[in-house]
Structures are given as structure tokens and as C-alpha cells.
Structure 1
Amino acid sequence: MKNNQKRISLDEIQLARAFAILAVLVVHSTSSGVTSIPTDSFLFPLYNFLNIAGKLGTPTFIMLSSFVLFYNYYPRVANWIIMKKFYIKRLKFILVPYILFSVIYFSVKWYMYYDYPSLAFALNKFLTLLALGKAHPHLYFVFISVQLYVLFPLLLIMFKKSSFLRKNAIWIGILLQWIWVILNKNYFHITLKGSISLSYISFYFVGAYLGIYYFEIREKIKAQSYKEKVLLPLFIGYGAIVILYTGFMYLVRINVYPNVAEQLPQIVSRYLYEFTWATNALFAGLVLFYLAHIANKRFGNRTKIVFMEIGATSFGIYLIHPLFLMLFRGILSAGSPFLYHSWQVLTFILVGMISWLVVRFIFRYIPHYWVIFGKLPEQQKLPLKNKR
């Protein structure tokens, strides 16, 4: 039934966001390990696995963003008033924090690492990085999200008008993304492809499909036949691709892959990275989406509250955690192997906890907090102890 009533929020989405931000923290916490410890270290394969297998967080956030948009807006009658409010809210709560943190990261790195010849040069450099989502590597996600919001009204109209597009959104999205990959590889040669929404169009379309058919899919999941025909192959496929992806990147990092590539068909070696990354991220996002629904049923009350809180503050944690990561790595960058590896684990824990504390403090005590970290979900604004 189509109306202008907003749908109820889903706890499963906050749980999925919590899982995704934890994966982001794992990737960023292990990034120094895979670049600094010797490749013949017995712990290097573990660092490589965690660093590569964890690269599901940002694509999952993109898929969840698309899901939320279509879940909320597809059943409603789209008109100029609704779209105007949509643009104001989304760009206000996303674009403003993006610009603010771009300034912060650019300024910090300017102070720590760079010596620009003049203020005019630095300003021009900043504006270029801002326009590309590159003031700091992780900000590309926000830049991609802004592109999704710009495209969303057009996508919404297309999905409303075409039942073929709605029903076949998954394979159409994958096809469009691969058309872009092939064209860019052979003709466009755009090196900053990670800042272009076409590199994530499959996640947009999969999120749209899930958002439109969410309640139908949730009913189908209960059937044993659906679990055997859809969910079991999904988990098997994810297991296979994560082994392939982590193994491929391990060979790249130990500098063995060039020899292996010579034995592979050219089309395989040419597109193996894009295939493993995109397929792993897509499978992982779907698996994580399903696991969030399982967790919603099986988590105890206290555990669920913790993960719901992490999910609710995930955008703020995503924005600020690299600052603390830079700080911790400056404190201890070397030492005995035991000290170094222990510090990596401690860094993951402390960066996550401190980032959450800062985000929650600002949400709680700073007026107009949305300028810094965007909008906190309504149901998460009260102190946790009052949400029994």
C-alpha cells in the first residue's frame, strides 16, 4: 500500500551497521601490520586475512544506505515537497560533516607531514581533494554517499516505473558495474575510480532490491526451501570468494603473484582484483545483512543494546577514528614483536572505545551536534540506561 507514512525503523539495520563499523576498524587497525612486518613472519598471513576479509564494511554501509532509502521512500508518493525535504536532510547531515572532517584531516596532515609553499597552494590542494573525496582515504565513503543521494530521486523514479528493473535489480546492478569496470580499464583509464559511484552501482541496486521487497524476502527466509536454495549457496559462495580474495592478495603482497599471473589466461589476470574485491564485498554485505536479522532474534538484551549503540553512532565513529589511529601509531610504532602485536590489538580496542566516547559525548552535550557527526537516529538519543 502506497502512502506518505514513514515506515518503522529496523533494529536489524543498526546491528548491521555495528558489524560493518567493526570490520572497518579491523581493516584500519591491521593496515600498519601488513605494510611493516616482514612477509615471512608467521603472523603476516593472519594480518593479511583480517585486513582483506574485513574489507566489507564500507561497501556494506553503501548497500545499507540504499536499502534505507528505498525501504522508506519507495512506498511513498514521490513529489517535489518530499524530494526537497530529502535533499535538505541528507545533504545537511552528510555534506556538512564531510566538509568539516575534510578540513580537519587536511589540516592535521598539513601540520604533521607536508610543507606547502603558500596558503594559496594549500587551499587549491584542499579544494581538489575535497572535490574527489580524498582529504583522507576513508572519506571516499561519504563522497560516494553524497553521489547516491544526488542520484536517488532519478533511481526512485526508474524503479517505480519499471517492474523489470525492480525484479532484476541484482543482476542489472552487477552488469552495470562490470560494464563500467571494463570500459574504464580499456578506454577511460580513470585512476580515482574509487571516488566514482559507478564503482559501487551493484551495491546501490542490491540495496534497492532489498528495500523494495524487504517484507516479502523476510517471509521467504522462514521457509526451509529458501534457506537451502538461496542462503546456503550464499554462505558457500562467500566462503569460497573470501578464500580466493585473501589468497590472491597474499600472493600480491609477498610478490609471488606476477609469476602466477603469467600462467593464467589474460582475461583472468586482468580482472582478478576487481572480481575478487567486488564479489567478496557483495557476498559479505548480504551475509552480514542476514546475520543482523539472526542477531536481532538471538542477542540478549544487554548485548543487543551494546551493538545497537555502536550501530547508531557508527557514522561518527567512521569519521573520527582515523584521528585516534594516527595518534596511537605515533606513540608506539616499533618495539619487540610481542609488544608490537599486542599494541595492534590494544589500538583496535582503544580507538574504537575512544571514538565512541567522543561521538556519544558530542551527541549528548554539544548543541547542533549534527554539524560534526550528522544526525543520530531518534530512538538512540536517550541515555542507554533509560532504554529498558
Structure 2
Amino acid sequence: MELYYMRAISAFGIFTIHATGGFALYSQFSSKVMHLSTFLNQFFRFGTPVFMMLSGFVLFYNYRIPEEFDAKKFYKKKAVYLILPYIIWAIGYFLFKAYLYRIPVGENWFGGLIKDILLGNTFSHLYFIFLIVQFYILFPLFIKYLSNSMINKPVKTFISIFVLQAALLIYEFYFKVPTNIAIFKFIDEYYWKTAMGWFYYFLTGGIIGYHYDKFVEMVEKHIKKIGIIYILSAAFFLGEVYLNIYTNNNMSEFEKYGSIRPMNMIYGLTTFTVLVWVTRRIKDMDKSSVRLLKSFGTYSLGVYFAHPMVLEFIKQKLMANFPRWIGYGRLSSFLIIYALGWILTTGLVFLIALFEPRWLLIGRVPKLVIREKKKLEETKR
């Protein structure tokens, strides 16, 4: 299925966001490296929304008959193959930060570590695990109260969740004002890392999962129109950022243009749709590049866990040891860190995938198989 390829592209997108952020913010304004890193950073902002849609797609697709959902078996599998690897990586990032940034360990470090693990705060990208676990907890309720509507009234259900999500995100992004009302303060502070800020993507993926054959048929029939909508949505999505940059003549507000903003509801969905069309055309190709792309998708959870650690280590070591040649202001530095970061990240994950206890770090995935010489010789005969 094209799922693996979409995961690979999304994982690469999330890697790109984290690889480019520092260059977009700290390079000389209007320099080549600023323009390139800003474009890549924003273009790949579909990564997290598509990942979230894929998560909803897989769950609802696998449990199209709600009665087949076995809560005990489901949560046991998630605890072993997601939560346990997450805890190990979270502890690893705690130690990594203490080593790399020379952060002293305080007296109450253990309590702080437990709190950070529970809230996904050990490192910036780990909030996604905290977020996806919320949807796993809510999934039985979605099946019980929403599956019937998602199956029998998909368009109406989609419009409803779109309007509700858009109302929240538009308010938070454009109209939010300081308040002392507890419930609104909580929403303002945590919406971006809780189910209330992402339910549109998860449930939209679920609707597509329930009606995948019809969805594919629609995509194949109207791909030209969908392509035009995708280009327009990408133009508006990127244009919003560039308008702000050149209006202010600086990058002071760049960080607010993250993945969770109203325009990504359209951009993320149209990208998901286009990726379905594209990956359906490459999945059966017998090419090494396509097989490699599938491998990236197979081990995408490992890529997600590992890439910030690899990127930060590379940046710290290169910039500290070679400040005259490596820095945020140089295009060559960006290309070196970007390429080296991806190669080392995937290399590390593939190395882990060679060993039996791989599930402790990268989840429930097959062992990476490297062709043996004997097999190669047999194919030549």
C-alpha cells in the first residue's frame, strides 16, 4: 500500500522542518540561505498534519467494523511498541541535553524528568507522542459516537469537524487576546499539543479510511482540478509567511508560522490527496530508489525519534569546531548539515533495525534485510 511511501515523505518533511529552522531564523536577512531554508521549512509543513491523518486513517481503516475493536489488545500493543520506545528516547534526550548543552542536573531532576516524560517536554518534537496517545485514549469514544456518522454521512461529518477546528485555530492564530478566565488560558496555552488542536486531521484521516476506495476513485477522476487546488493552497500557505516577512522586513514573527495554523487545514489535506495519487504510481515500480523510499516509511517512527538528536549533535560539533567554515549564515553549511543529518539519521535507524531488540527503540517493524552475496550470485545465474 502507498501508506509506507506517504509516511516516508512525511518523515522527511518533519526532518526538513527541524533542519531548516535555525538557518531561517539566524542567517542574514534576505540571503540565499534564508530564502532556501524558509521555503523548505514552510513547504514541508504538511509533514505533521499528514502524519496525523495517516494515524487516523490506519486506525479507522483497520477497525471499519467497530465491534472488532479489542481495547485490551490495542492498548497493550501501543504500550509495548510506542510508549516504551518513547520513554527510552525521552530519557535519552534528557541525558543528551545535559551532555551537549552542559545543563547541570538539579536536586529535583527525577521529578522534573517524570513530568517532562508525561507531557512530552523532554525535547521539542516529542510532543507528538503525547498528542497521539491522547487520540489512542479517545479512539473508543470516536468509534462509539462518531463512526456511524463518519460511515453514513461522511461529507456532513467532515464539514462539521472542519468548521469546529477552523473556528478554534483562526481564533488562536489571529484573534487571541490575554485573559484571566481559567478555561481559556488553558486552551490558549495547550491547544497546540492536545487533541483539541488536531482532531480535524485525525478524524479526516478516519473518514478517508472508511471510504478509501471511493476516495481513490474521486482522486483519479479529478486529479487535474485537485492539482490546481493544491497549487493555490500552497501559494496561499507560503505567501502568508512571505507577506509577514517582507512587511516587517525581518524574521521576528517567523516562529509563529508553525504546522498548526488555519491554512494548513487546507494545505495539509490537499497535499495528502496529491500524495495518494503520486504514491499509487510509484509503489509498484521495481527501482532501488522506490524500495529505499519504502524503507524510510517502514522505519519512519525511528527516523522521527532520532533525527533531532543527530541534527543537534552535528550542528553543535561542526559549528563549535569549525566556526570559520560552518555557520548559520552560509549556504554551504546548510547543505552539509541537511545532507549529513539525513544520511546519519537514516543510517542510525537502519543500524538499529538490524538487531532483534529493535522494538525497544523504533517500534514494531521488520528486521532490516541486507542482501547476501550468495543471493546475489544466484540471481546472476
Interval containing the TM-score (normalised by the shorter chain): 0.7 to 0.9
Q: CA deviation at 1:119?
A: 2.7
Name the CA shift for 1:115/1:310 in 2 (closer, same or farther; >3 Å): closer
Confirm whether residue 124 of structure 1 aligns to residue 122 of structure 2.
Answer: no
Asked if the contact 2:233/2:267 (under 8 Å) is kept, the reply is yes
Name the CA shift for 1:117/1:91 in 2 (closer, same or farther; >3 Å): closer
CA distance in 2, matches of 1:115, 1:349: 28
Asked if the contact 1:91/1:146 (under 8 Å) is kept, the reply is no
Name the CA shift for 1:109/1:117 in 2 (closer, same or farther; >3 Å): closer
Name the CA shift for 1:15/1:113 in 2 (closer, same or farther; >3 Å): same
Equivalent in the alignment of 2:158:
170
Confirm whether residue 208 of structure 1 aligns to residue 206 of structure 2.
Answer: yes
Equivalent in the alignment of 1:69:
59
Equivalent in the alignment of 2:122:
135
Pairs within 5 Å for 1:6-85: 10=1, 12-75=2-65, 77-78=67-68, 82-85=70-73
Q: Deviations 1:175-197 (Å, cap 9, x if unpaired)?
A: 23124336764661322322111
Asked if the contact 1:132/1:195 (under 8 Å) is kept, the reply is no
The one-letter amino acid of 2:191's match is K
Confirm whether residue 328 of structure 1 aligns to residue 320 of structure 2.
Answer: no
Name the CA shift for 1:75/1:216 in 2 (closer, same or farther; >3 Å): farther
Q: CA deviation at 1:341?
A: 1.8
Pairs within 5 Å for 1:292-307: 292-297=279-284, 299-307=285-293
CA distance in 2, matches of 1:384, 1:291: 28
- Among 323, 344, 360, the alignment partner of 1:354 is 344
Equivalent in the alignment of 1:375:
364
Asked if the contact 2:169/2:262 (under 8 Å) is kept, the reply is no
Equivalent in the alignment of 1:268:
none
CA distance in 1, matches of 2:369, 2:96: 33
The one-letter amino acid of 1:288's match is L
TM-score (norm. length: structure 2): 0.82
CA distance in 2, matches of 1:326, 1:69: 33
Q: Deviations 1:50-71 (Å, cap 9, x if unpaired)?
A: 1111111121111111111111
- Among 291, 294, 297, the alignment partner of 2:278 is 291
Q: CA deviation at 1:18?
A: 1.0
Equivalent in the alignment of 1:161:
148
TM-score (norm. length: structure 1): 0.81
Could you say what the CA RMSD is over the residues aligned between the two structures, in angstroms? 2.9
Q: Deviations 1:95-142 (Å, cap 9, x if unpaired)?
A: 11111111111222123336457231x223323322322211111222
Name the CA shift for 1:84/1:214 in 2 (closer, same or farther; >3 Å): same
- Among 61, 76, 83, the alignment partner of 1:95 is 83
Asked if the contact 1:74/1:156 (under 8 Å) is kept, the reply is no
Equivalent in the alignment of 2:265:
278
Name the CA shift for 1:194/1:301 in 2 (closer, same or farther; >3 Å): same
3-state DSSP class of the match of 2:67? coil
The one-letter amino acid of 1:119's match is E
The one-letter amino acid of 2:287's match is N
